[in-house]
Amino acid sequence: MSEPPPGSRSPGPPHPGPPHPGLEALLSRPLWETLFRRRTHRVSRGASVPAGSMSYRSPHPPQPLGELEEAVLIALTGSSGLTMPDRPFEDPRDHQPIMAKPNLTMTGRTAGSPDNAQATHFFMINDSGTYYLRKLPPSPEPAFDPDTLIERARRSKVRVLDRRLDVAEGLRDFPAYLDSNRFLSNLEGSTLFLPVVDLSHQYINALMYLLTQPEGARPTLVDDRNFYRPAGVRKWIRNGFLNPDIKLPLGALGPMRTQIEADLLLQNMMLVADAMGLGAWIHATIGPQILLGDPKFSRTYGRMLGFDFVTPRFRPADVLRWHVPLPAYARLRSHPVGLRVDGEHLIKAACPPNHPSMEDAVDAVVRSKFGEGGIYTDKPLFARIYKDDYAQRYLAEAGEYDQDVIDCARDICVYVHATHGRFPAHTDAVHVPGIWLQTHHVETEYYERFFTAGLTDAHRRHTALWEAGETP
């Protein structure tokens, strides 16, 4: 996405208010202290804990997070500015050019991402509903004041459900919830942040990046779900583009490491929530397939988030490839490919039916990088990253994908969809890590009663700092 030119400013409050005591305390808290004092606090304000002689029943009603408290955490799911393409342009051994434009976006976040795919999408769940958090463009001059944080949080929220995402009463046992989680997770008053990861765009991009290896080092992709046959690359073996002695199974690629960014983002959010004096608890979500509305579970649990699913047509070879015995079991291989709300695609995987074919899906990824309006044709964007005339030098000198790389990756993607009826086949297009972050006000009396170091100063001072400065 193109950004405003240098010197422009995003809309914001003309007269920021006085310093907020909670934000001031957060900004001044030492990172080292936050890291070493971080502990999970599962018991939220208003909750009860049946634990024999250590049972506890809260005398307080649930206390939802304030809008500013949520806004700080929402900010952590979004942009933190722009990244830097600080990588070599040529092989130091022979000075041959190498591909130096791997990124899918130049927008940075508070956690790293393979090829800066930034494929993680967040949902926020609280008492007022379930929201998709839209990724806003980065502000040219980020501001950490209450008005700006709240304004950006409001703009990012897209209501998906007018209620808290949860299963019906009486269905909190497995496979919906795990063990004791069902008694403390997703309670009234809590705010949860649920990550889901669109793997499909980076799957295509990473295949192309993989194929930019030097001659003799490009692997032959084989399909470990189809007797280790070449994955649509026989032509590329014959013409010498791929090395048949380096075999790489599609299953070994898995999610291309793209899923790791969600875990890193959740950890950052947990640290900040703890530094704010909130309870912060990363734990297992409701069953991922149940959460998204997988047709295998929707009869029992409903549509939940209501993702679009694709069920591959059964083929006799699926008995051996995927151990699907009969057509009646074909939906065992259904997978999520996107989310639409009021006709708008909020998440749209790079595969059919979102694209007419895999050829079109691959071409769309390439255009998003190098076509008109693509990342690497946005000169004003790179002018904000580099000093002087280095932006123009980078765009002119850094190598892109060769056509053979694009064509070979396209053949692999076409093979995967044609053979297995879905893309990707060895992992889902939309991946749910299966964990979420619950944040809540801590039941301080419980921790004071039972634990020697149950609370930090941030927890003890939280109410005084954040409620006193809460904006209306």
3-state SS of the chain? CCCCCCCCCCCCCCCCCCCCHHHHHHHHCCHHHHHHHCCCCCCECCCEECCHHHCEECCCCCCCCCHHHHHHHHHHHCCCEECCCCCCCECCCCCCECECCCCCCCEECCCCCHHHCCCEEEEEEECCEEEEECCCCCCCCCCCCHHHHHHHHHHHEEEEECCCCCCCCCCCCCCCCCCCHHHHCCCCCCEEEEEEEECHHHHHHHHHHHCCCCCCCCEEEEECCCCCEECCCHHHHHCCCCEEEEEEEHHHHCCCCCCHHHHHHHHHHHHHHHHHCCEEEEEECCCHHHHHCCCCCHHHHCCCCCCEEECCCCCCCHHHHCCCCCHHHHHHHCEEEEEEECCEEEEECCCCCCCCCHHHHHHHHHHHHHCCCCHHHCHHHHHHHCCCCHHHHHHHHCECCCHHHHHHHHHHHHHHHHHHCCCCCCCCCEECCCEEEEEECECHHHHHHHCCCCCCHHHHHHHHHHHHCCCC
| CA atoms of 184 and 62, how far apart (whole Å) | 12
Confidence band of 448 (pLDDT split at 50, 70, 90): very high
| pLDDT on residue 144 | 86
What pLDDT shows up at residue 179?
A: 86
Q: Which residues pair with 309 in a beta bridge?
A: 336
Q: How many whole angstroms separate alpha carbon 291 and alpha carbon 13?
A: 38
Q: Per-residue pLDDT for 4 more than 50? A: no
**Per-residue pLDDT band at 470 (split at 50, 70, 90):** low
User: What does the pLDDT read at residue 141?
Assistant: 72
Place of tokens 């393409």: 85
State the pLDDT at residue 16.
Answer: 53
What average pLDDT does the segment 2-27 reach?
59
**Predicted pLDDT at 11:** 38
Q: Residue 5: its pLDDT value, please?
A: 37
At residue 48, does pLDDT exceed 80? yes
Give residue 138's pLDDT: 85
So what's the pLDDT on residue 140?
Answer: 72
Q: What is the mean pLDDT of residues 440-446?
A: 97
pLDDT, tens digit, 9 for 90 and up, residues 378-421:
999 999 999 999 999 999 999 999 999 999 999 999 999 999 99
Q: Is the pLDDT of residue 66 over 80?
A: yes
188-232 tens-digit pLDDT: 999 999 999 999 999 999 999 999 999 999 999 999 999 999 999
Residue 145 CA to residue 158 CA, distance in Å, equals: 22
Residue 431 predicted with pLDDT over 80: yes
**pLDDT exceeds cutoff 90 at 30:** yes
Q: How much is the mean pLDDT over the chain?
A: 93
pTM for the model: 0.92
CA-CA distance, 430 to 165, in Å (whole number)?
19
The first and second tokens of residue 334, run together, are 């259904």
Contact 416, 250 (CB under 8 A): yes
Rounded Cα–Cα distance for residues 131 and 266 (Å): 17
Whether 307 and 338 have beta carbons less than 8 Å apart is answered as yes
Mean pLDDT computed over 329-357: 95
How many residues in the chain? 472
Residue 243 CB partners (closer than 8 Å, separation 6+)? 216, 217, 218, 219, 220
